[in-house]
Amino acid sequence: MSYIRYILLGCLYARTELINSKISKLQKSTRKVPLIPIIVTSFVASFLLAQNFVGDYVVNAATGKPSKIFLKIEDLKINKGPTGAIDVTGKVRNNSTKDVQDIKLTASYYDDTNSLLGKTIKFLSNPSENVKPNGVKDFNFVETVTFARIAHSTVNATANEAK
């Protein structure tokens, strides 16, 4: 899902560049087409779409299907810490019917213009640790992003199917 978000942000950037170009054209009576942002956005979109199929997904050799499992986040709290940074707490629950390992939490923080303020990736389980169905892993960490600048955030958790 985060790849789609990057693609949408890239498209929004390209659209903004085109609008700014049209405004500039009206103001200066000259025609300029911002080809570089369009080319870069197209490249990024192609790369991210390709990543969707080969980059972040572990593929089960027997079935050829991805074995990446998306887990449920519970009791998520993003609070202002004593220094103005943020404290992030919550739980990740294995809501699948399979044992999982390598639980990864990804948190991204955005301002009111949807600009990325910061991104954190935390591994919540040890490499050899299996988490049973309905198992829970707590998380609690401090992030250096300024609380007052955050308009919204996305937090998701994934894991690999245990071998």
DSSP string, 75-122: EEEEEE-TTSSEEEEEEEE--SSS-EEEEEEEEEEE-TT--EEEEEEE
**pLDDT at residue 47, rounded to an integer:** 44
- Is it the case that residue 35 has pLDDT exceeding 80? no
- CB-based contact 107:145 (threshold 8 Å): no
Of the listed ranges 7-11, 38-42, 82-86, 89-93, the least confidently predicted one is: 38-42
pTM score, whole prediction: 0.58
66: helix, strand or coil: strand
Give the pair of three-digit tokens for residue 98.
Answer: 């399979």
User: For the ranges 62-66, 71-75, 84-88, 124-128, which has the lowest average pLDDT?
Assistant: 62-66
State both tokens at 27: 């103001």
* Tokens standing for residue 134: 């309905």
Q: Are the C-beta atoms of residues 123 and 71 closer than 8 Å to each other? A: no
Looking at residue 85, its pLDDT comes to: 85
User: Does domain 68-161 correspond to CATH entry 1.10.10.10?
Assistant: no
Residue 146 has pLDDT above 60, yes or no: yes
Q: Kindly report the number of other CB atoms within 10 A of residue 48's CB atom.
A: 17
Residue 153 has pLDDT above 50, yes or no: yes
Q: Which of 99, 128, 116 is nearest to 152 (CA)?
A: 116
List C-alpha distances in Å: 5 to 30, 44, 153: 34, 12, 12
